[in-house]
Amino acid sequence: MARIHLFRVYDDGPPPPGRQVLVERLWPRGVRRDDLALDAWLKDVAPSTELRRWFGHDPERWEDFRRRYVAELDARPDAWRPLLEGDGDVTLIYSSRDREHNNAVALRDYLLERAGD
């Protein structure tokens, strides 16, 4: 199975190898589109606007956020399945300041659980 990497869009240095996929509903603030060499921008794999606003990157809501986000992903398999297609590694690009409590972390865990299906 290919590896799934995470990369914060504001970090210095090149992202890990593999397909580069932005997994945010909104374009990252202060980043020019020309500055990101993306293979895809999968807006529909990101949490809904309602869920994103409710979570507000509050670590106290993390477990609830994960549960709700998984339900959204379960309802939209066409949004996340392309991330598991192909042989190479995939890098999920995100913009959150919090490296442990963000949609890319939850999405990576979700994909790893389904990679063997």
What pLDDT digit, counting tens, does each position of 73-114 carry? 999 999 999 999 888 899 999 999 999 999 999 999 999 998
Examine the pLDDT at 1 and tell me if it is beyond 60. no
Domain boundaries, the chain: 4-114
Q: Other CB atoms closer than 10 Å to residue 21's CB: what's the count?
A: 21
CA distance 18 to 15: 9
